[in-house]
Amino acid sequence: MLAAALCPAAPTTQVLTENRFAEWVKGTPTRVIIEPDDFLRLGFDVTPTVQPAVATLDAVAVDGQKVFIAAGGTVLECMPGGTNRVVMRFETDKVTALALAPDGRVYAGVTPNGSVFRLERDGTLTRVADTGQRYIWALRFASTSTLLVATGPKGVLCSINLGATPPVSSILFDSDEDNITALACDAAGVLAGTAPHGKVYRVTGTNAAFTLAETKAAEITDLACDADGAIWVATMTATPPAPPTPAPAPPMNAGAAPAPSSMPQPAPAAGATLFRIASNGYCEAWWQSPESVLCGLARAADGTLLVGSGNRGRVFAVRAQNRAALLASMPSKQLVALMARPDGSVWVAGTEPACVYAFAGQSASSGRFESVVLNATDAARWGRIVIEPAPAPGVTVETRAGNTENPDDTWSPWQALDATGRIASPRAANLQYALTLRASGSNSPLVKAVHIYYAPPNRAPQIDSIVISPASIKLLAQPAPAPPLAVPVPGLDQLVQAFDALQGKRALPPTPPPAGGSPQPALLLTRAPGYRTIVWNAKDANGDKLDARVWLSSPALPVAWAPLAAKHTRAYETFDTREWPDGTYRAKVSVSDAPANADDEALSAERSSDSFIIDNTPPGITVTRIQRAGATLRLQFTVSDALAVIQRAHYSIDGRTRKPLLPTDRIFDNRTEEFVVSLPLPANAQVLRLIVADELNNVNATTLAIPLQQ
């Protein structure tokens, strides 16, 4: 009731409104920020800082301006704007984790041998320790002499004592999870995130651990700690369960053995969740991302929590609980790590392609936002685009249109709006708009809403069927209940959702009403002598209100089609056949969407019924023989009708119970039937009565005197 009261019938001209974060985030922003308060503003210039000569990036570590990148079995030392130098190479292993020691030396964990190596200052490579495990997913220094190693597939947290000679690897914590995938340290101990159940442990000693949270996520991808004791937990959404295997599976971000990828893989599920564990131990879902993978946490210079994501290479700024801005988009599909720099810039390591990007807090001079493809399902006529706030200095709009699901070479080119703000793109089923934002001095444009006016083409209604009822059938419309003076509201939550839906993105196309094109009243079926009912099933692709006209045609009429009913909105017509001459008829129904369209755009459809008979004349009875022979009455008679098949015959003697009679061929199948029968007579029988009827229930009867016994 609430939806019906708030959503009027769809007009010919419709408006699509884009003014919600949830809709805008589906588009493609370039140097444009999408704020959780539902507006667009200029973002930051994103520039490549390090471009390694590799296709993919598996792990990264930063030391000042040096960036160490792991790609397969190779580790590169890269300088911004400089050359790439190979510093480690493994023939059979893959480097899946990197860490920088406090003294600046680089440590690498390799898979599938589960060993940790160190790059010495002279360029030589030292095997530090063997963990005894297969996969290494993360490395972290707990102190200058203690290196933590997250492993799988047995979910073991190892600790390497670098102060010993030689260094010694021991098991710090053996979890009940398959893999430990993320590490952090706070004042109370070591934090470990896992897969496949997304647990977060606090490890305070050898095999002394407490489960802080079980998020049910497929994997914990990163952990970060605040000075106030809060812990941030980045996750990956769950994927459909894999077939069981004898050995425990590697974490979700693992590739195929023996060299699994450390990059998160796409997950066909809802957005991944950022959790916050407060200092008092309370864990809550803080923000749900529109992306399926969160894969990097960092604090910007202003204290904002930054979260990287895949699989569209995006960086989000968490403003508050359940409120995050889409801050920047990288050319790389997947992000590996975020790093806040001392100069206030943010470095973002991504893969596909492998690159390290940088952006700072100063807004770009221009940016572009391309919407998601908007589908009208039919070749719509496009009108104006209105930007809020209006006027919109510094904002220009372009559009393109096409009839394929994704833009391709068959789409029209990007075109600016005309001088009146009207879309210049051709009629098509799909439209995409692009906004260019340009700063002017200290003025930076904002966009709070985009209103797109369009008119879907009017499609002719259709009549799927038209049927005629049996004879003596009448339909009566029941009185509609009086509308309430007010609309009951189930609750304020539902009211908020209804208002929000009206002000946000409207459905494209509008939901059509019931198949008749117009709501139909409750009906009552009743028997009424002489009446017939014509019923049709009409629908309209646009959901337009329909009106109908009905005609009858018969050789018994002086015109080809005689009007039976003028315009009305019901999908049936009941009429009294006794007002029409007997004969063979057909009905024709025409429906039009004129009530919802301008006269020159209204369309109609018509359909004719099968033939049917109007016959209100009872059949005739002709008796050719009636003879008594003792206790038997021999009778011969004929029943005939001009139009209808004879359906039944009965007799009654002296008012006794009626009994049926059959024609000579033992079947009622003709308009004329012959009867030759012998009837038993009770004693002193005097009166015979014959009652006959045709298939339209027209009844005739005759009364005969029974001859006396001779």
Alpha-carbon torsion, ordered 14, 18, 24, 27, to 10 deg: 30
Among residues 570, 70, 134, the alpha carbon closest in space to that of 336 is found at 70
Residue whose entry in the numeric block shows the structure tokens 């994103």: 46
> Which positions ≥6 away from 8 have C-beta within 8 Å?
none
Among residues 9, 12, 16, the alpha carbon closest in space to that of 458 is found at 12
Rounded distance between C-alpha atoms, residue 232 and residue 298, angstroms: 10
At residue 628's C-alpha, the angle toward residues 625 and 634, to 5°, is: 45
List residues bridging with 16 in a β-sheet.
Answer: 452
Lowest-confidence region among 262-276, 523-537, 555-569, 672-686: 262-276
E strands along 498-642, which residues? 523-527, 531-539, 547-553, 562-568, 572-576, 583-592, 604-608, 612-614, 620-629, 632-640
Query: For 316-329, b where at least 16 C-beta lie within 10 A, e where not — what string?
Result: bbbeeeeebbbbbb
Q: Which CATH architecture group holds 462-480+521-614? A: Sandwich (2.60)
Whether residue 166 has a cis bond before it, omega within 30° of 0: yes
Q: Chain centroid to CA 149: how far?
A: 42
For residue 52, count CB atoms less than 10 angstroms from its CB and return exposed for 0-12, middle for 13-18, buried for 19 or more: buried
3-class state of residue 497 by DSSP: helix
For residue 544, count CB atoms less than 10 angstroms from its CB and return exposed for 0-12, middle for 13-18, buried for 19 or more: buried
pLDDT grade, residue 443 (50/70/90)?
confident
Whether residue 509 has a cis bond before it, omega within 30° of 0: yes
Among residues 519, 446, 450, the alpha carbon closest in space to that of 481 is found at 519
User: Given CA atoms 358, 363, 365, 367 in this order, what sign does their dihedral have?
Assistant: positive
139: pLDDT strictly greater than 70? yes
> Which positions ≥6 away from 382 have C-beta within 8 Å?
399, 401, 422, 423, 425, 427, 431, 452, 453, 454
Q: Over 514-553, what HEC string results?
A: CCCCCCCCCEEEEECCCEEEEEEEEECCCCCCCEEEEEEE
User: 207-222, pLDDT tens digit by residue?
Assistant: 999 999 999 999 999 9
pLDDT grade, residue 516 (50/70/90)?
very low
Rounded distance between C-alpha atoms, residue 646 and residue 658, angstroms: 18
pLDDT grade, residue 497 (50/70/90)?
low
Q: Which CATH class is domain 620-705?
A: mainly beta
What count of other Cβ atoms lies within 10 Å of the Cβ of residue 496?
Answer: 10
Q: What does the pLDDT read at residue 83? A: 79
Q: Region 152-168: what's the mean pLDDT?
A: 95
**497, two tokens:** 């959702």
User: 361-403, pLDDT tens digit by residue?
Assistant: 889 999 999 999 999 888 999 999 999 998 889 999 999 999 9
Q: What does the pLDDT read at residue 424? A: 96
- Per the CB < 8 A criterion, the answer to whether 311 and 269 are in contact is no
Among residues 670, 674, 691, the alpha carbon closest in space to that of 636 is found at 674
Q: Where in the chain is the domain with CATH 2.60.40.650?
A: 620-705
Q: What does the pLDDT read at residue 489? A: 64
Q: Where in the chain is the domain with CATH 2.120.10.30?
A: 52-304
673: pLDDT strictly greater than 60? yes
Rounded distance between C-alpha atoms, residue 153 and residue 134, angstroms: 7
Q: Region 184-199: what's the mean pLDDT?
A: 96
Q: What CATH number labels 52-304?
A: 2.120.10.30
Q: Where in the chain is the domain with CATH 2.60.120?
A: 10-38+368-455
59: pLDDT strictly greater than 80? yes
512: pLDDT strictly greater than 50? no
Q: How far is the CA of 119 from the CAs of 113, 124, 126, in angstroms?
A: 18, 6, 7
79: pLDDT strictly greater than 80? yes
User: 20-37, pLDDT tens digit by residue?
Assistant: 999 999 999 999 999 999
Lowest-confidence region among 72-86, 190-204, 209-223, 444-458: 72-86
Q: How many CA atoms lie less than 13 Å away from 23 in the CB half-sphere?
A: 20
Whether residue 112 has a cis bond before it, omega within 30° of 0: yes
> Which positions ≥6 away from 543 have C-beta within 8 Å?
9, 10, 510, 511, 512, 513, 517
- Per the CB < 8 A criterion, the answer to whether 313 and 295 are in contact is no
Q: How far is the CA of 664 from the CAs of 261, 266, 679, in angstroms?
A: 91, 81, 14
Query: For 628-656, b where at least 16 C-beta lie within 10 A, e where not — what string?
Result: beeeebebebbbbbebbbbbbbebbbeee
Q: Which CATH architecture group holds 10-38+368-455? A: Sandwich (2.60)
E strands along 360-448, which residues? 366-370, 374-388, 395-402, 415-416, 428-438, 446-447
> Which positions ≥6 away from 625 have C-beta within 8 Å?
634, 635, 636, 637
pLDDT grade, residue 519 (50/70/90)?
low
Q: What does the pLDDT read at residue 54? A: 87
**705, two tokens:** 């005197």
Q: Where in the chain is the domain with CATH 2.60.40.10?
A: 462-480+521-614
* Mean pLDDT, all residues of the chain: 89
Lowest-confidence region among 17-21, 56-60, 64-68, 281-285: 64-68
Q: What does the pLDDT read at residue 55? A: 84
Q: Region 642-650: what's the mean pLDDT?
A: 96
3-class state of residue 323 by DSSP: strand
User: Given CA atoms 21, 24, 29, 31 in this order, what sign does their dihedral have?
Assistant: negative
Q: What does the pLDDT read at residue 264? A: 36
**694, two tokens:** 């045709």
User: 298-344, pLDDT tens digit by residue?
Assistant: 999 899 999 999 889 999 999 999 999 999 999 998 999 999 998 89
Q: What does the pLDDT read at residue 517? A: 52
Q: What does the pLDDT read at residue 522? A: 78
For residue 571, give the amino acid letter: A
Rounded distance between C-alpha atoms, residue 493 and residue 279, angstroms: 32
State which H helix or E strand residue 371 sits in: none
Lowest-confidence region among 378-382, 449-453, 465-469, 520-524: 520-524
User: Given CA atoms 39, 291, 58, 190 in this order, what sign does their dihedral have?
Assistant: positive
3-class state of residue 614 by DSSP: strand
598: pLDDT strictly greater than 60? yes
Q: What does the pLDDT read at residue 254? A: 37
What count of other Cβ atoms lies within 10 Å of the Cβ of residue 598?
Answer: 9
User: 234-287, pLDDT tens digit by residue?
Assistant: 999 865 444 444 344 444 343 333 333 333 333 344 689 999 999 999 999 999
